[in-house]
Amino acid sequence: MEVLYRSTRGAKEAVTASQAILQGLAHDGGLFVPTEIPQLACDLRTLAGMNYRELAYEVMRLFLTDFTEEELKACIAGAYDEKFDTEEIAPLVKVGGAWHLELFHGATIAFKDMALSILPHLMTTAAKKNQIKNEIVILTATSGDTGKAALAGFADVPGTRIIVFYPKDGVSPIQEKQMVTQKGDNTLVVGIHGNFDDAQNGVKAIFGDEALAKELDAAGFQFSSANSINIGRLVPQVVYYVYAYVQLLARGEIADGEEINVVVPTGNFGNILAAYYAKLMGLPIAKLVCASNENKVLYDFFRTGEYDRNRPFILTSSPSMDILISSNLERLIYRIAGADAGKDTELMAELSKNGKYTITSAMRGQLQDFCGYFASEPESAATIRGAYEEDGYVMDPHTSVAACAYRKYKEETGDARTTVIASTASPYKFTRSVMEAIDAEKYGKMGDFELVDELQALSGTKIPNAIEEIRSAPVRHKTVCEVQEMEQTVKNFLGIR
Ligand SMILES: *Cc1c(COP(=O)(O)O)cnc(C)c1O
């Protein structure tokens, strides 16, 4: 079955997977969605016998139907290799009654590596397939983790350039250091005076600027996106939910076909949407628990049916979830509206005009698979401390939001199903917040890298290469700009006047 991709905002003709990956965002500002969600083609027991790469092929081939077997297998082999510090790629670890799916064993120690280590391969393959002559300019807004993972993936990839915008005061010290030390002549990292939503809106505006697209084309460039709006990000993320399930099956933790719950610390709604796609493919998932930090727009949305971004933007210790406009939610909205692009367009117009919209009761009725919980800053810190004291396990502040949400969910519902928590970052990436959660008094005054050593002593886990690399690396990127200067910054980098 061939799967094509259509914009959530227009009924215009569909494009192939490779074209959707190249474009990133549809021309009408919508997001590409598959015209149909394919069903898993192998039974779960067979999938349980596969390693990560084999499973990735089995899942991704169903979505990326215009890639040949040889092309897709080459992309997978180039992505899931020694860049990961474990052969399992995404290990499952039991902590306090739930399974943590550790998605942070890649090059930049956040779950973004799961998709961004393969995206450059998919993108360059797609460019060849579609006879693209232009250089591809990857434009990315980041709340901290996407930026570094995309930079690591695209650095020095021939035929590409990458520009990353991050909120200057909205990322962790280690996240910033990781980005501004990035090597590669085709890379540019820019801090903006604004928050993540400003960065994301700025990037979307540049994408939507047709005059600029013409100027770029004349100069031999075209834009694409490494943000989770790109279907080439979403599809690789479906894989690890299937992997988690079949690992539990292989270990005898669940019976074949038994339903599990999945808890996801959520920002832009990409990761949890991938879990939802896995469910729609036939993976036995009961509930999808959407965990928010104090920027709890999604929690409110699942409780009331109203999405309202009109509220203060809170800087928390889980910066990659400090988001008030969750882009990927649009894919869910489109689906529960019955693939009605008109309805989706109407709601998104309301969001951009009034900062809010309310879905119909029929749409709400289709959200049974989801529920929302949130963790305050003190609750998130207490969860880190509790897991350390009780299980000797140190988790990062995003994962702790999910672990806390799960505890609340379980208390409220009594649902005792086997549960997988998406563990999205290494604690080493957020050393300061993690160590202060464990003992503010003792660690509050130490320097960032001193804390890294303390974390090692306390957790007994190896310091990841990603951290060793930046200890002494020189800062290469010092550009800072206003939100209104983003477009000009892009032009300067590309040498367009
Ligand atoms: C990006 C990120 C998230 C949020 O994921 P979304 O797909 O944007 O919902 C959560 N935790 C970490 C560590 C991240 O980097």
CA distances from 364 to 272, 298, 306, 333, 371 (A): 18, 13, 10, 10, 11
- 31 neighbors 213 (Cβ within 8 angstroms): no
Give 212 Cα–ligand 1 centroid separation in angstroms.
30
Determine the atom of ligand 1 nearest the C-alpha atom of 144. Answer: 15
- 114 neighbors 103 (Cβ within 8 angstroms): yes
C-alpha span between 381 and 387 (Å, rounded): 10
Per-residue pLDDT of the chain (497 residues; tens, 9 = 90+): 899 999 999 867 899 999 999 999 898 889 999 999 999 999 999 999 999 999 999 999 999 999 999 999 999 999 999 999 999 999 999 999 999 999 999 999 999 999 999 999 999 999 999 999 999 999 999 988 999 999 999 999 999 999 999 999 999 888 999 999 999 999 999 999 999 999 999 998 998 898 999 999 999 999 999 988 999 999 999 999 999 999 999 999 999 999 999 999 999 999 999 999 999 999 999 999 999 999 999 999 999 999 999 999 999 999 999 999 999 999 999 999 999 999 999 999 999 999 999 999 999 999 999 999 999 999 999 999 999 999 999 999 999 999 999 999 999 999 999 999 999 999 999 999 999 999 999 999 999 899 999 999 999 999 999 999 998 899 999 999 999 999 999 999 999 97
CA angle 255, 100, 331 (to 5 degrees): 85
pLDDT, residue 472, reads 87
Give 2 Cα–ligand 1 centroid separation in angstroms.
30
Ligand 1 neighbours, Cβ below 6 Å, are 110-112, 145, 228, 265-271, 320-321, 398, 424-425
Residue nearest to atom 14 of ligand 1 (CA): 320
Determine the atom of ligand 1 nearest the C-alpha atom of 237. Answer: 7
**Residues for the chain: how many in total?**
497
Work out the angle between the directed axes of helices 329-336 and 341-354 (0-180°, nearest 10).
140
Give 296 Cα–ligand 1 centroid separation in angstroms.
14
Determine the atom of ligand 1 nearest the C-alpha atom of 266. Answer: 9
Give 195 Cα–ligand 1 centroid separation in angstroms.
16
Q: Which two tokens stand for residue 246?
A: 């079949």
Q: Which two tokens stand for residue 71?
A: 């092309």
Nearest residue to 288 (alpha-carbon basis) of 370, 217, 361, 348? 370
C-alpha span between 225 and 217 (Å, rounded): 16
* Catalytic residue annotation: 112
Mutate to test the pocket of ligand 1, among 200, 398, 430, 434 (most ligand atoms within 8 A of CB): 398
Give 269 Cα–ligand 1 centroid separation in angstroms.
8
Mutate to test the pocket of ligand 1, among 268, 290, 404, 431 (most ligand atoms within 8 A of CB): 268
Give 278 Cα–ligand 1 centroid separation in angstroms.
18
- 199 neighbors 141 (Cβ within 8 angstroms): yes
Q: What string of DSSP letters covers 268-290?
A: SSHHHHHHHHHHHTT--EEEEEE
Instruction: State the distance between the two ends of the chain, measured CA to CA, in whole angstroms.
Output: 46
Mutate to test the pocket of ligand 1, among 111, 231, 380 (most ligand atoms within 8 A of CB): 111
C-alpha span between 75 and 141 (Å, rounded): 24
- 423 neighbors 109 (Cβ within 8 angstroms): no
Give 134 Cα–ligand 1 centroid separation in angstroms.
31
CA distances from 200 to 176, 226, 235, 355 (A): 17, 12, 21, 15
Mutate to test the pocket of ligand 1, among 101, 231, 263, 424 (most ligand atoms within 8 A of CB): 424
C-alpha span between 339 and 477 (Å, rounded): 43
Give 427 Cα–ligand 1 centroid separation in angstroms.
14
> In 3-state terms, what secondary structure has residue 75?
helix
The pTM for the full model equals 0.95
Determine the atom of ligand 1 nearest the C-alpha atom of 112. Answer: 15
Residue nearest to atom 15 of ligand 1 (CA): 145
pLDDT, residue 11, reads 64
